[in-house]
Amino acid sequence: MSPAPTTDAPVTDAPATDATGRLSLWLRDRSEPDWSAAVAHRFTGELIAGTVADDVMRRYLIQDHRFVDSFVALLGAAIAAADRFDARIPLTRFAAMVTSDENDYFLRAFDALGVTEAMRRDTPDHSATTAFQALMTEARLTADYPCCLAVLVVAEWSYLTWAARADGRLPDRFEHAEWITLHDNPFFRDFVGWLVSELDRVGPTLDDDARARVEDLFRRAVAAERAFFDAAYQNGRD
């Protein structure tokens, strides 16, 4: 399994919040230039415009669907590790959405794009896919709520950021439009807002070592998102 993307800059050489005291904004700034490259990626721009090629969309969705199991397991770890019952409720509701509405979209999109069961089975994992799965597993196995949050926040906040760029102007084909609206709707916006606020809530409780672990996971997750979008244009494992 390929290692998750890494970053080279030290992780403890700056104050661990932004000027407003929010850990999330500091982490986002520390993840540049990968954050901006991911949320303004060619793939998301073409998706919003409705011009993404079918072969690119097929590659992207086949690989993205393979995250569902690892992602739901990570959500489960976050639910188990959460430090209060109130935090478990939105995480559980979101897990239900991923395993129902979002999974249903994948199956309908596969049919519309001519993706057969054999194609889904026989297409090898791209190295970007295995790297991101490994990172999710790494975060899950920490059994640490802030570490789980770090990867979850990147996955959902980055997607809300690029999907919001559509600003209600949706492409004609449902395979494009519904992937946007799944990541920009009132339920999703509320959940992401809460998720980011949870990271900010636990931030002040972290000692230097714990904060460094969270930063490392956050930055590697952002790099993994960027690499995964890149992979949609690469016809192969690497």
pLDDT of residue 18: 58
Distance CA 176, CA 108 (A): 12
If you average pLDDT over every residue of the chain, what do you get? 92
The verdict on pTM exceeding 0.95 is: no
Best CATH choice for the domain 23-231 from the list 3.10.580.10, 3.40.50.300, 1.20.910.10, 3.30.360.10: 1.20.910.10
pLDDT of residue 121: 94
Cβ-Cβ contacts under 8 Å for 212 (sequence gap 6 or more): 11, 12
State how far the Cα of 113 lies from the Cα of 102, in Å rounded to an integer: 16
Task: Return the residue matching tokens 């390929």.
Answer: 2
How high is the pLDDT of residue 17?
64
Position 229 scores a pLDDT of: 98
The DSSP annotation for 14-30 comes to S-SS-TTS-HHHHHHHH
How high is the pLDDT of residue 235? 80
Output the tens digit of pLDDT for each of the chain's 238 residues. 334 444 443 333 445 665 578 999 999 999 999 999 999 999 999 999 999 999 999 999 999 999 999 999 999 999 999 999 999 999 999 999 999 999 999 999 999 999 999 999 999 999 999 999 999 999 999 999 999 999 999 999 999 999 999 999 999 999 999 999 999 999 999 999 999 999 999 999 999 999 999 999 999 999 999 999 999 999 866 5
